[in-house]
Structure 1
């Protein structure tokens, strides 16, 4: 073997070792906080979840807990405990459970806004009953939308090719830095390597709403959107020191956004003076406190910046 070939082989081995080490380190950090969620009433089933705080708050999917008011929790060290469902949000397929058992490990949510396509994504869960299984892939796309069980679109969804199967639902999607970047929620049956997770920033918003109000309050304006890069000229025009904003992909006819004059293709850069740098900001800013209130939207439309006033409505089930 030539010297060049030997060097290539050595370099490849080093890269593989580095990849393996980063995945293994992330699993060591987050894995002990991953739960198996068991439901016996009103139907039997199981899924995954993960502990996000030392006082026993656990995130999972709404479709995992269903209509149950209590669940049984198991973690890798053999501990079993009862948990109470604090609230669920079918519109984002998220639910929050509390257990008063003592859990030594927890996995706080990271900042999904920092994600980049191509970075390592690691899924941990209990697919098909095989407990605490690890799969790895990459972040395939960001800012996807998918339809929830209620028929509403979940925005700011992460697409990954980390293998997911029934039972992975509710488990964490983890970065190589050992941060939870999403909550695994769905696979496309019959497709190879297409799976989805609700972004951690959206999960943070939903969790805070459930803790404060027992449900998620939302202001509805009737749009679907995605995050886009904001050219320097557009940023200067908006007067904001941001590099991204939200582009409207659809405006529902007759909706508050439609009545305010918002159009498909418009870019929302700020709401009431607060920068909108991604879909997660749009979700967070349109909370229940804005229902029925004049809400100023800074809109970039072609080569001009305009301010439009939207009056959000209460989002109905």
Structure 2
């Protein structure tokens, strides 16, 4: 039996996946949409009584395959979703290698559109694309401004392994996760799910059964661990990218580590809670206000136990508060334990300086992250 071009494409994609780290974006050798064209044919019988089927029908028309043409014939593919009459959201790492005019979108009805990049934010790994005219059936999905409940059922929509208009189901396994970004700063407040996430899912929506976007799919670590950028962070970043072309992240300028029992005993804490300041960036807002630990002096260094009256038990809580509740120019009150005594200090946040690190591929395992610098 002969092999069609489409069959050859599927085999190439599946062979390539075997050597690809399990991050959401999938690198390929050309900008063509080399995927199985089975989005509409797999939508099922209208008589099927399933909440997953209903959500799929209501949302899949707004989910796109993002294909990218890069320099020297390189490129990649990922996913994205429509948020209004002109704009599509995806990951920065999906489109960062695109040349001018090198982003094409395919909708689930097989229609294609050329997209332009409005703006990108490598720190949150988000990007906004513009499309001049959406096809029929592609309407904006709603990005909610709340944290999902652990155990809540969720769906991942997108193009895993380049197979378009796919759906996987799971639950929210955790919230307030800290993920690596390719530019050295961590991405806070992320969502963990056991819904299947594979190369090609990057930039697609993580949705509730009501079809609301809870997060933007970011990466997968293995068969039962996937991650999405929080809708709460996306709702801060995306409007700014559309209106201003950039988003200014708040910057405190410290390195921290969790307080373990040995540290708690050394600094005079009754329980192991808070974060120990291990580094203060020169000329940063915290410079001269917070005191870092000195390795040769056990018990030295400030332990941050609260910010603006909100308890800080770990670095995830500190990062999430800074990312979701503050902006450059805000003055925050930090409650610290210093030399065994609790006191309050004030720090005025600044705009995060441009990273001096090159944009590197996102590690396949989100546990491989650089030191935190809120």
TM-score range with shorter-chain normalisation? 0.7 to 0.9
Supply the RMSD in Å over aligned alpha carbons.
Answer: 2.8
The structure showing larger relative contact order (alpha-carbon pairs under 8 Å, at least 6 residues apart) is: 2
Flag structure 1 segments of 5+ consecutive residues without an equivalent. Answer: 1-19, 226-246, 272-276
* Distance in 2, Cα, partners of 1:139 & 1:285: 23
Cα pair distance change 1:250/1:147, threshold 3 Å: farther
- Tell me by how many angstroms 1:257 deviates: 3.8
* Distance in 2, Cα, partners of 1:100 & 1:248: 49
For residues 79-117 of structure 1, what are the alpha-carbon distances to aligned partners after superposition, in whole Å with 9 as ceiling and x for unaligned?
Answer: 21111111111111111111111344221211232x111
Aligned to 1:129: 162
Which has the larger helix fraction?
1
Cα pair distance change 1:249/1:176, threshold 3 Å: farther
Q: Identify the match of residue 100 of structure 1 among 132, 137, 141.
A: 132
Does residue 25 (structure 1) correspond to residue 54 (structure 2)? The answer is yes
Q: Identify the match of residue 312 of structure 1 among 349, 364, 370.
A: 349
Aligned to 1:3: none
Aligned to 2:307: 268
Aligned to 1:183: 216
Flag structure 2 segments of 5+ consecutive residues without an equivalent. Answer: 1-48, 257-272, 292-301, 311-316, 356-374
Cα pair distance change 1:81/1:192, threshold 3 Å: closer
Aligned to 2:250: 219
Contact (CA 8 Å) 1:224, 1:248: kept in 2 or not?
no
* Distance in 2, Cα, partners of 1:212 & 1:270: 32
Contact (CA 8 Å) 2:254, 2:279: kept in 1 or not?
no
* Distance in 2, Cα, partners of 1:224 & 1:160: 28
**Residues matched between the structures, number:** 264
Q: Identify the match of residue 92 of structure 2 among 62, 70, 89.
A: 62
Which has the larger strand fraction?
1
Contact (CA 8 Å) 2:304, 2:335: kept in 1 or not?
no
Aligned to 1:254: 280
- Tell me by how many angstroms 1:278 deviates: 8.5
Aligned to 2:239: 208
Contact (CA 8 Å) 1:32, 1:106: kept in 2 or not?
no
* Distance in 2, Cα, partners of 1:305 & 1:212: 42
Aligned to 2:17: none
Aligned to 1:296: 332
Cα pair distance change 1:252/1:213, threshold 3 Å: farther
Q: Secondary structure at the match of 1:202?
A: helix
The TM-score, its normalising length taken from structure 1, stands at 0.74
Contact (CA 8 Å) 1:87, 1:210: kept in 2 or not?
yes
Q: Secondary structure at the match of 2:241?
A: helix
